[in-house]
Structure formats: C-alpha cells, structure tokens
Amino acid sequence: MPTYGSPGNADALSPTLKSTWNDIIAANYQSLSGLHSRFFSIDHSSIQNPAEASAAWFGDPAEPAFCLDEDWARRLSDWGVRGRHQLHNEYCEYVVKYERDTSGVLRPREVHVTTELREFWMLMAVEDPALLQATAASVLGFVPSWQELYGGDPNTWDATARKVAFANQVAGHGNDQELINHGVSAQPLGMLNRANALFMSHPINGLDDLLYIVLFGAQPYARSGGAGALLPATKEQIFRAFQVEHLACRHADPAAATAAHQQAFNGRSVAFADPLGVYIVNFTQSVFHYQGTEIPAGWVRYSRGDGPGRFQRLEFGAPAGSGIFLDEIDVLDGAGSRKLTGGYDVARHLEVGPRLLIGPSTPVQPAEFQVLTTSTSPINCSGAAVCAAIKALRADFEAAMPLVRLAPRTMGRI
C-alpha cells in the first residue's frame, strides 16, 4: 500500500485525506495490473538503499511542432483556451495573462504554468471543500466563491454531487467514466481553471497516464546484439512493438518510459519518490533578457511545493505595476533572439517530470528479458493521426484572425 504525502508537500493533509489520496493512487495502479513487474513498486519504502533521480522532459507541446513547424506550434499553443485544451499534453499547462498598456493596447503580461495533478484537486473538492477553497485562494490571491468552485454550496451535498459539480465547473471529466455518464464535458465550463491554470485539466495529463507510461517502460526490453548478446531495445522498437508509436511523438512519454526501461534493463526497480507528483525540474532563465541583460530573479516565481525540485507552479513576468510586458523580453535562440509573445517559449525552456527512486542492480534472468524484433528506424511523427486535428485547429485559428491591410489593395491575416 503506498504512503505518499500531498504533491510537493504543498498541503497539510489529515490522516483520512492522506489515506484517501493513497487509495486513489493504489486504485490507478491496480487498474494497470497487466503491466506490473518486479521492476516497479508502488510502495516507495520497498526500494532498498535508493538513489533519487528525475525523469524530465521539456514542457512545450511537441505535436504541433512536428505536424506543422515551430512557428505554428508557438501560435497555436498560445491560442488561449483552445490551444491549451487541445495541445498542452506534456504534463505542463499554462495560461497567458493579458493587460492593457497606457495606450489601451491589450498585451501579454504574465505566464502562469502548472504541473499539478487534476486528481489531487478532485480529492480536495470531494472530501474537504474548505481545504480546496483555501488552496485555490493561495494560488489566485483571492477567495473564490462556492459558486465559482461548484456552482453552488457543496456543504449540503453528498460526495457524488460535489464530484460532478466541481468537475463541471473547474476540472472537466478527465476521462472518468462516472463523470462522462453524468454529462461532464472534457473541459470545465467555469472560468477559474480556464483563466488561471489552477491545475492540469487535459485528460492525457492524468495520474493514470503517468503511472501507465512509467509502468510501460519498467520492463527489460532487449534486442539481439549478435552472438547471443542482448542490448537494450531502442525507443522506436519499444513503442512499435506495442503499436503505440503515437506516444513516441511527445516529449513526456518517451522520456518517462525510457528512464524506467534503462533501470529495468540493468535489473533495478523504480518507484515514485515521496511525494508523488509532476514537478518543475529545471528552468533555463538565462535565455530571457530585458534591455540587454538577464531578467531579474524576481520575475520568475515558484510555488505549490516545499522547495526546488518539488515546485508545481511557475509565474513568469515583471512585477505588477512595473509597466513591463512580455513582448519587451527577448528570448535568446542560438546566435539570434526573438521577442517573447506568450507561454510557449517559457514552457520550451522548462523541464518537468516526476521524481523517481532507483534500487540497486540485480541479475536479470534470461526469461525476464522481452526480446523485441521490431524496426529501429525513426518513427514518422509528421504522419501521425493527431496531425489532422492540429491542421484543423490551424484552419480555425486562421479563420478567427481578423483581416488587416498588408499593402495597398492587399488584405490578409498576420
């Protein structure tokens, strides 16, 4: 039985709430029983003499870049709710905050990034509305009303009513069949999470998917090295062998799976470190410059965690009242630079992922190796099925952009 604390140790949980959180983790783990092996343990305390490591990847959406190009990935990923809900599937979601300057022009002011698991916020919503409201207030800077959180007063409702109401207003259904049966949509109807990125709401950014991809990788997949020798299977072989090539076309899934596979091939067991969560592992602040110098440290603010490596929230931008907007910040890129226009370039320089415990090496018996014979050739991500949906999103984006005068007698969209 797992005994994890609140993600990032950000919230003080009662013994009952902590137990319920671990029941949720255990239930998700049991639902993946077909992937269980000795190379992964859901009980972090079972790993003897562990070393700690992170399975980390970049937070920017990979799919629009390989389906289209990086310029379109930037524009579509920064396209408000539409971009977030369709593209932010790397366990990293963000919103761009806008303000009007002294001339009345609406400009990007801040980027708010979250890696918080939806399931933990659902737990608070169902079991402890007061804690949920206080936690939301600590992020928002104001106390949200019950109406904003639930659409009504949850203190008079049972657990199911709270779950459905909060999912409708703030969380979306997260591929939970019970919520789908109650008519909850994939994305929330209310504005609290849509406008503020309280936590991740993309259905793929869930606890179940995080467990799945680490368990999927935590197997001693091998390929023949000739003369009876076995070598580690390649990423391409692993994803092809199980006909999930599309997962190899993201940042998160290959990074998490190959991190676990590397340990399993060498006979090491892995577990999620306590507390289980998705964390901000690294942020390359040095590439962001204002007026020729690196931005001040105070322009990057971390929270929702008890220290570096366990933060789950990043707010990027000059202090309120400074009159400085994101589009005045330069992003260094090789020998050149570009103006910062939204959150994509922030996520692109952000590494996120879970913390893992790694056990000592043990002999892997011949029968334990899963020898794969699938091709090692690169996977053609530009031909992935998701590209059709992303191209449709681009068409919607172009249709929504206003016509402007590009030259005399020439109108077009920027």
Q: What is the pLDDT of residues 132-156, one digit of tens each?
A: 999 999 999 999 999 999 999 999 9
Digit-coded pLDDT (tens) for 169-189: 999 999 999 999 999 999 999
pLDDT at 401: 82
pLDDT number for residue 403: 54
pLDDT tens string 35-56: 999 999 999 999 999 999 989 9
Q: Pairing relation of β-strands 221-226 and 370-371?
A: parallel
Express each pLDDT in 206-246 by its tens digit: 999 999 999 999 999 999 988 889 999 999 999 999 999 99
Interior CA angle at 68 toward 62 and 70, to 5°?
A: 60
pLDDT band at 382 (very low <50, low <70, confident <90, very high): confident
Cis peptide bond upstream of 254, omega within 30:
no
Q: What's the confidence (pLDDT) of residue 408?
A: 54
Does the pLDDT at position 404 exceed 50? no
Percent of the chain surpassing pLDDT 70 = 97
- Reported as a pLDDT band with limits 50, 70 and 90, residue 406 is very low
Under 8 Å between Cβ of 317 and 94: no
Query: Could you give the CA distance from residue 221 to residue 371 in angstroms, rounded to a whole number?
Result: 6
Count, residues in the chain: 414
Q: Where are the domains of the chain?
A: 7-117+200-399
What is the per-residue DSSP string for 318-387?
SPTTS---GGGEEEEETTEEEE--SSHHHHHTEEEE-EEEE----PPPGGG-EE--S--SPP-GGG-THH
Map tokens 């899934």 to a residue: 253
266-313 confidence digits (pLDDT tens): 999 999 999 999 999 999 999 999 999 999 999 999 999 999 999 999
- φ and ψ at 152, to 5 degrees? 170, -175
Encode pLDDT of 353-362 as tens digits: 999 999 999 9
- 3-class DSSP state of 65: helix
Mutual orientation of helices 118-127 and 129-140 as an angle, nearest 10°? Answer: 130
The angle that helices 207-217 and 15-30 make with each other, rounded to 10 degrees, is 50
Q: List strand residue ranges (DSSP E) for 93-189, in order.
A: 93-100, 106-114
Cα distance between residue 173 and residue 182, in whole Å: 9
Q: Above 80 in pLDDT, residue 411?
A: no
Record the pTM.
Answer: 0.93
Report whether pLDDT(322) > 60. yes
CB atoms under 10 Å from CB of 244, counted, come to 14
Tokens encoding 70: 């990086």
Q: Look at residues 32, 52, 51 and name the one whose alpha carbon lies nearest to residue 42.
A: 32
Residues 6 or more apart in contact with residue 161 via CB below 8 angstroms: 154
Q: Does residue 1 carry a pLDDT above 80?
A: no
Q: Residue 328: is it exposed, middle or buried by C-beta count within 10 angstroms (0-12/13-18/19+)?
A: middle
Q: How confident is the model at residue 410 (pLDDT cuts 50, 70, 90)?
A: low
Answer whether residue 157 shows pLDDT above 80: yes
CA distance 277 to 256: 13
